Structure 1
Amino acid sequence: MKRILATAAATALLTGAAFADHHMDNPMVGGAEMMADKTIVENAVNSADHTTLVAAVQAAGLVETLSSEGPFTVFAPTNDAFAALPDGTVETLLMEENKDQLTKILTCHVVAADVMSEALVGMIEADGGVHDIPTVGGCTLKGSVSDGMVMIEDEQGNAATVTIADVKQSNGVIHVVDKVLLPAM
């Protein structure tokens, strides 16, 4: 019973926090209204919190892919998440000669399915507290719930918190995260 209540509380926190201040279908992200009838890329370019992610997606040549039909779930790191990487990392990744490495990192943030937070919390619960999340980049992330928040662990053991959940897109969903998820090296 405690487990069911914890799952229900986590789901309520995730979905409620995302919609608490807004009377629309989607939360504001980076000061911009996210439109459910626009693609992941069309919405991301309007978020002031995701300019680094947009530049990285452009540099990796992933604009067309993330504008396609999908569905995709994107764990979208903020500018602050990229800024927390060691000095010079972002600039180095954006260089043409590092396109393959950048593409690998970015595609490890993308799941080839439309996974809303309630479904993800359900999968985490069904798997005993940790759910493996395979990405299009070949990484396996691990989803869990801690203190009512969904956590996404990368292959290096770093955990990101989903800070804004269930940002609906015409080709999937975005969950904003506070860390860049990295593949095993």
Structure 2
Amino acid sequence: MPDVVDTAINAGTFATLVTALNVAGLAEGLKAEGPFTVFAPTDEAFSKLPSGTVEALLENIPALIKVLTYHVIPDQKITAAEMGKTDSVTTSEGSTLKINTSDGVKVNDAKVITPDVEADNGVIHIIDTVLIPESLGKLEPVS
């Protein structure tokens, strides 16, 4: 079974995420043993960000790393069913994501559109919105 990075590559709807992971130097880490829980925004989710935001992040590696690690829960494989037992999880970035399972599964303001995509070293939950850690404040697009 492929790892979380190869699973995302094979899905074909995560080109922006995979590019960002490679630019930030994080892809190799997510190929490690894990386990990891990854909230993976689709290319469509990235396209909902204000124009120029993705380009700005790809040029600001420290900010990009914060955004990407905010989507990863280290050392845990948390299924959608297990998310119903908690109201928050701590990310690799160090902040907390709020979990709400009252109507499907939501992580902060992102809806899980496809839960429990199995990978060799964890699980991926596909989300419809890019999560931005509060520590970054408002992202300014490249003008």
| Alignment TM-score, normalising by the size of structure 2 | 0.91
Deviations 1:82-128 (A, max 9, x none): 00001000011112xx10100000000000110011111122xxxxx
Correspondence for 1:115: 78
Correspondence for 2:117: 167
Q: Using the alignment, how far apart are the partners of 1:61 and 1:168 within structure 2?
A: 23
Q: Using the alignment, how far apart are the partners of 2:110 and 2:18 within structure 1?
A: 19
Correspondence for 1:90: 54
| Alignment TM-score, normalising by the size of structure 1 | 0.71
Are residue 61 (structure 1) and residue 25 (structure 2) matched?
yes
**Aligned residue runs from structure 1 range 1-185, under 5 A:** 37-95=1-59, 98-112=60-74, 113-123=76-86, 131-147=87-103, 149-153=104-108, 159-184=109-134, 185=137
| Structure 1 SS opposite 2:107 | strand
| Displacement of 1:138 | 0.9
Is there any run of 5+ residues in structure 1 with no aligned partner, and where? 1-36, 124-130, 154-158
Range 161-170 or range 44-53, more displaced:
44-53
| Structure 2 SS opposite 1:137 | coil
Correspondence for 2:140: none
Instruction: Write the letter of the residue equivalent to 1:99.
Output: I
Structure 1 moving runs of 4+ over 3 Å: none
Q: Using the alignment, how far apart are the partners of 2:45 and 2:90 within structure 1?
A: 21
Is there any run of 5+ residues in structure 2 with no aligned partner, and where? 138-143
Q: Percent identity?
A: 45
CA contact (8 A) 2:83 2:101 kept: no
Q: Using the alignment, how far apart are the partners of 2:17 and 2:27 within structure 1?
A: 11
| Displacement of 1:42 | 1.1
| Structure 1 SS opposite 2:28 | helix
What is the aligned-residue RMSD (CA, Å)?
0.9
